[in-house]
Amino acid sequence: MAKWVYSFGDGKAEGNAGMKDLLGGKGANLAEMSNLGLPVPPGFSITTEVCSYFYERGNSYPTDLKPAIDSALTTIGARANATLGDPNRPLLVSVRSGARVSMPGMMDTVLNLGLNAQTTEGLAKLTEPRFAYDSYRRFIQMYSAVVLGLEHSFFEEILDTEKELKGAELDTDLGADDLRNIASLFKDCVREKLGRPFPEDVHEQLWGAIGAVFGSWQSPRAKTYRRLHDIPEEWGTAVTVQTMVFGNRGATSATGVAFTRDPATGEKLLYGEFLINAQGEDVVAGIRTPQPISKVVRERQSGKRPSLEEAMPQTFTELQAICAKLEVHYRDMQDLEFTVQEGKLFMLQTRSGKRTAEAAVKIAVDMEREGLIDKKVAVGRIEPAALDQLLHPTLDPDAEKELIAMGLAASPGAATGEIAFTADEAEKVAAERRDVILVRTETSPEDIHGMHAARGILTARGGMTSHAAVVARGMGRPCVSGAGMIKIDAKNGVMTAGKHTLKRGDVITIDGATGSVYNGRVGLRQPELTGDFGVLMAWADAIRRLKVRTNADTPDDASTARKFGAEGIGLCRTEHMFFDNDRIVAVRQMILADAESDRKAALAKLLPMQRQDFEGIFRAMEGLPVTIRLLDPPLHEFLPQDDEEIAAVARAAGGDPAKLRARAIALHEANPMLGHRGVRLGITYPEIYEMQARAILEAALNVEKAGGKPVQLEIMVPLVAWKAELDRMKERIDAVAAQIRKERGRIPDYLLGTMIELPRAALQAGEIAKTAQFFSFGTNDLTQTTIGISRDDAGMFLMDYLNKGVLTRDPFVTIDTEGVGELVRIAAERGRRSRPGLKLGICGEHGGDPDSIRFCHDSGLDYVSCSPFRVPVARLAAAQAALASVKNID
């Protein structure tokens, strides 16, 4: 026979903390605290198996559940010396929901269950009337809202009217008679709204509440939450029924919540709030302003009313001792709920406390030092994605701020600077070494240079997957997107935000972590990469096997990434070098040339510029590996757009504008994604790749000659589908190398490899690896080409898919293991079979995603490469992949 009910209380329990699956997080931890001998009001938990039974059998219960509950009620009644429904010694209970992990959408707790007209009179005699009627009216309101589905506002209106009638300002100003009257008005309200009376039968009340908890497991909110967080339907919820203790029994009673350390900073002190003479959720409900628990905190906030430490020193000491005991026991920071009834402390809940990234890092490092956890556990404790919060400047919390608009928190970090309305403007201001915020209605690929030059980006339109948001996150620029109330008139250089009108050059501050836009300059705090953060990252580095590189196109990005711990460049794209203002004309001249000789003449102009770019990057990387991708995008991306631009090219090349225009039209790509691009360009115009190969090799020689460490060169050919394509390019590049050796007496070592970004390439990896010395998985394009959705077009459509539950993960964020991931595994396996030791890495945006990093680790890749600001995230995720650590939830 199954055991459906587990009791706890009086220093013992049938369950323990290891039984979260069965008892829910709350029930299991209440049992654990009882076992530890902590003061926990006695109660019992009804298991999650009853929940499953309930749903499998059309909302009915196992026949032996009722006797089990009756017997558990008898046990706790004996401990509390009271009986449910007995007017002389009424037992009151709370009914609490509890899944394995805490889950919004579940039923709210019902307090004071067991009160009816008679038991309330009994309670009034036993205690005092005001308390009894206050409890009763609270119960009616809560039960009606939570179990019977009536709106809270009905009851609040009644309460407000009565308070007004009595001239009472606070609930506490109401007397016993007022409260009795209010309870009866509440009951009238229930009868009127529901057409039936409020249940007087205490067992009906109890079963009603239990059914409501189980019912809430299938509420739309709970279902949505489960879908978004990958929580299986089968888990179910437990129900905990617990003897009431009362924080609303006068000046020596109180209720509160506490963290064993400060959840914002991690500082080791008792952090939390409490209210004297209050019950349950009053603390968080905002009806009265709660007081801090610790004296230091009160002093820091210059609070007038006493802390718990001052108001109830003995209780505080007791709570402190319990907190210390719980921390040692659970080896983690705890978030707990307590109540003081007439000077006696009771524990009502404990669980691992949520914390900011800053606090998480400090707590993990401190606890290792305190000997509570080891380094592996410490590293496993930090949510890699949360590190994002730590790697960007934040607003000075003490600074005065004037909020002028709100948008989406599109890319974290705070930035302050002068407004620029175009990318060129932004670049100009930045060139004068002034901070600039690029403000656009929305951004497009032509704005990249301005986004790069800007400290932060603000757009009036666009969501979390808009161009601005995606690019800003990749660059590590703070971004607020879709600030709809901002109207931009770029032509005249003004914007309005509500009543504010701001001009080009005026200063604003944005906070990409909250989506706020402020007027003027707000002080910033720079991220702290040393201290505890540095310690933790060093522990992570000692654990991980995967190397972490960065995607960087400029020396600036390269040095930022190195500060964050990058061990090389996994993807250096060369096309941005072509977009530069002073180069684009030569690039266009090259593209539009009819004859090879004209093209070579234009390329000769570009060679020294490219060489210089590479020198800068190689110097920044000081001998670390650098993967350079040869030109990838379709040429039409570089084409002149208008007559003026065509005229400029005609002047430089000495050609005929009309002919140039015709050629520009001819070069237009119908399908930029899959058209004439990548290695296909290299095959048609080998002189482009030859120029790039020369620039790379000469740059490496120059850096070495100037005393720099020899760079580990990896030349990467994009978009290969056939081995023959790579063979041809290898022939050309090797020939350039041979030529340089003739000219300069030597050439630097280099590897030649390819990006695997087409399904055909992945399947042909065995063949391709005969030529390629390394593979880098370009998972952005591989995702597009595998699942047949283009990233740019997919934004809205993917959102819809995610909302409808067709997809549980965004495949452009986390590697789709069944499609793209399968191809990666196949390519890795086939590639290494024909070339053992083939170097394998990933350079798509997935390289910075913790789940994808786990996949890369498991698939035997050598490194991941991600944007500079993601490097620490990747280092930590790689360590956790190595630990395969189970994250510590609830």
Q: Tell me if 479 contacts ligand ADP by CB under 6 A.
A: no
DSSP designation for 451: H
Q: Closer CB to ligand ADP, residue 144 or residue 339?
A: 339
Q: Which does 282 bind (CB under 5 to 8 A by kind): ligand ADP, Mg ion, none?
A: none
State the minimum distance, in angstroms, from the CB of residue 255 to ligand ADP. 5
State how far the Cα of 410 lies from the Cα of 458, in Å rounded to an integer. 9
Among residues 237, 238, 236, the alpha carbon closest in space to that of 46 is found at: 238
Q: Which does 245 bind (CB under 5 to 8 A by kind): ligand ADP, Mg ion, none?
A: ligand ADP
Q: Closer CB to ligand ADP, residue 281 or residue 637?
A: 281
Q: Tell me if 248 contacts ligand ADP by CB under 6 A.
A: no
DSSP for 367-378, please give it.
HHHTTSS-HHHH
The site for ligand ADP, by CB under 6 A, has a size of 16
Q: Closer CB to Mg ion, residue 279 or residue 349?
A: 349
DSSP designation for 509: E
Does residue 576 have an active-site annotation? no
Task: Give the per-residue contact string, 711-740, with Mg ion (x = CB under 5 A; - = no).
Answer: ------------------------------
Q: Tell me if 280 contacts ligand ADP by CB under 6 A.
A: yes
Q: In the chain, count H helices and then E strands.
A: 35, 32
Q: Closer CB to Mg ion, residue 327 or residue 757?
A: 757
Residue spans of beta strands (DSSP E) within 160-253:
238-243
Q: Closer CB to ligand ADP, residue 272 or residue 841?
A: 272
State the minimum distance, in angstroms, from the CB of residue 349 to Mg ion. 5
Q: Which does 41 bind (CB under 5 to 8 A by kind): ligand ADP, Mg ion, none?
A: ligand ADP
Q: Tell me if 109 contacts ligand ADP by CB under 6 A.
A: yes
Sole binder of ligand ADP in the list 120, 349, 610, 859 (CB under 6 A): 349
State the minimum distance, in angstroms, from the CB of residue 502 to Mg ion. 39
DSSP designation for 209: H
Q: Closer CB to ligand ADP, residue 53 or residue 346?
A: 346
Return the residues of window 32-51 that contact ligand ADP according to CB under 6 A.
Answer: 41
Beta bridge partners of 716: 629, 753
Q: Are 663 and 748 in contact (CB under 8 A)?
A: no
The residue range among 237-245, 413-421, 527-535, 638-646 that interacts with ligand ADP, by the rule CB under 6 A, is: 237-245
DSSP for 633-682, please give it.
S-GGGGS--SHHHHHHHHHHHT--HHHHHHHHHHH--S-TTTSS-THHHH
DSSP designation for 870: G
Q: Which does 781 bind (CB under 5 to 8 A by kind): ligand ADP, Mg ion, none?
A: Mg ion
Task: Give the per-residue contact string, 763-792, with Mg ion (x = CB under 5 A; - = no).
Answer: ---------------x--x-----------
Q: Tell me if 349 contacts Mg ion by CB under 5 A.
A: yes
Among residues 50, 102, 52, 57, the alpha carbon closest in space to that of 72 is found at: 50
Q: Closer CB to ligand ADP, residue 255 or residue 784?
A: 255
Tokens of 682: 């290299």
From the list 452, 467, 846, 857, the catalytic residue is 467
Sole binder of ligand ADP in the list 242, 260, 291, 783 (CB under 6 A): 242
At 630, give phi and psi (nearest 5°): -70, 165
Q: Which does 516 bind (CB under 5 to 8 A by kind): ligand ADP, Mg ion, none?
A: none
The residue range among 367-375, 546-554, 755-763, 845-853 that interacts with Mg ion, by the rule CB under 5 A, is: 755-763
Q: Which does 565 bind (CB under 5 to 8 A by kind): ligand ADP, Mg ion, none?
A: none
State the minimum distance, in angstroms, from the CB of residue 223 to ligand ADP. 18
State how far the Cα of 47 lies from the Cα of 99, in Å rounded to an integer. 10
Does residue 467 have an active-site annotation? yes
State the minimum distance, in angstroms, from the CB of residue 798 to Mg ion. 19
Task: Give the per-residue contact string, 324-343, with Mg ion (x = CB under 5 A; - = no).
Answer: -------------x------
Tell me the Ramachandran region of residue 474: left when phi exceeds 0, alpha when psi lies from -120 to 50, beta otherwise. alpha
β-strand pairing of 238-243 with 93-98: antiparallel
State the minimum distance, in angstroms, from the CB of residue 310 to ligand ADP. 22
Q: Tell me if 781 contacts ligand ADP by CB under 6 A.
A: no
Q: Are 120 and 86 in contact (CB under 8 A)?
A: no
Q: Which does 281 bind (CB under 5 to 8 A by kind): Mg ion, ligand ADP, none?
A: ligand ADP
Give the containing element (helix H, strand E) for 750: strand 750-756
Place of tokens 């930022």: 560
State how far the Cα of 423 lies from the Cα of 326, in Å rounded to an integer. 55
Q: Tell me if 348 contacts ligand ADP by CB under 6 A.
A: yes
The residue range among 201-209, 242-250, 354-362, 572-580 that interacts with ligand ADP, by the rule CB under 6 A, is: 242-250
Q: Closer CB to Mg ion, residue 436 or residue 470?
A: 470
Q: Closer CB to ligand ADP, residue 120 or residue 610?
A: 120
The residue range among 239-247, 392-400, 665-673, 812-820 that interacts with ligand ADP, by the rule CB under 6 A, is: 239-247
Return the residues of window 49-108 that contact ligand ADP according to CB under 6 A.
Answer: 94, 96
Task: Give the per-residue contact string, 310-339, with ligand ADP (x = CB under 6 A; - = no).
Answer: ---------------------------x-x
| Cα-based angle 238, 228, 890 (whole degrees, multiple of 5) | 45
Q: Closer CB to ligand ADP, residue 285 or residue 538?
A: 285
Beta bridge partners of 90: 83
Q: Tell me if 245 contacts ligand ADP by CB under 6 A.
A: yes
Q: Tell me if 762 contacts ligand ADP by CB under 6 A.
A: no
Q: Which does 785 bind (CB under 5 to 8 A by kind): Mg ion, ligand ADP, none?
A: none
Return the residues of window 422-441 that contact ligand ADP according to CB under 6 A.
Answer: none
State how far the Cα of 585 lies from the Cα of 272, in Å rounded to an integer. 63
Sole binder of ligand ADP in the list 111, 254, 587, 721 (CB under 6 A): 111
User: How far from the centroid of its chain's Cα atoms is residue 689's Cα?
Assistant: 40
Q: Are 553 and 577 in contact (CB under 8 A)?
A: yes
Give the count of beta carbons closer than 10 Å to the beta carbon of residue 501: 12
Q: Tell me if 119 contacts ligand ADP by CB under 6 A.
A: no
State how far the Cα of 612 lies from the Cα of 437, in Å rounded to an integer. 29
State the minimum distance, in angstroms, from the CB of residue 141 to ligand ADP. 14
DSSP for 842-868, please give it.
E-SGGGG-HHHHHHHHHTT-SEEEE-G
State how far the Cα of 160 lies from the Cα of 350, in Å rounded to an integer. 34
From the list 189, 843, 856, 866, the catalytic residue is 843
State how far the Cα of 99 lies from the Cα of 229, in Å rounded to an integer. 13
| Alpha-carbon radius of gyration of the chain | 33
Which contacts of 783-791 are long-range, i.e. CB under 8 A and separated by 24 or more positions?
A: 783/811, 783/812, 783/815, 783/816, 783/820, 783/844, 783/846, 784/673, 785/674, 785/757, 785/758, 785/759, 786/759, 786/816, 786/819, 786/820, 786/823, 787/811, 787/816, 787/819, 787/820, 790/673
Q: Which does 242 bind (CB under 5 to 8 A by kind): Mg ion, ligand ADP, none?
A: ligand ADP
Among residues 91, 805, 791, 72, the alpha carbon closest in space to that of 466 is found at: 791
Sole binder of ligand ADP in the list 10, 49, 162, 281 (CB under 6 A): 281
Q: Tell me if 820 contacts ligand ADP by CB under 6 A.
A: no
Active site residues: 467, 843
Binding positions for Mg ion, rule: CB under 5 A = 337, 349, 757, 778, 781
Residues that bind ligand ADP (CB under 6 A): 41, 94, 96, 109, 111, 242-245, 255, 280-281, 337, 339, 348-349
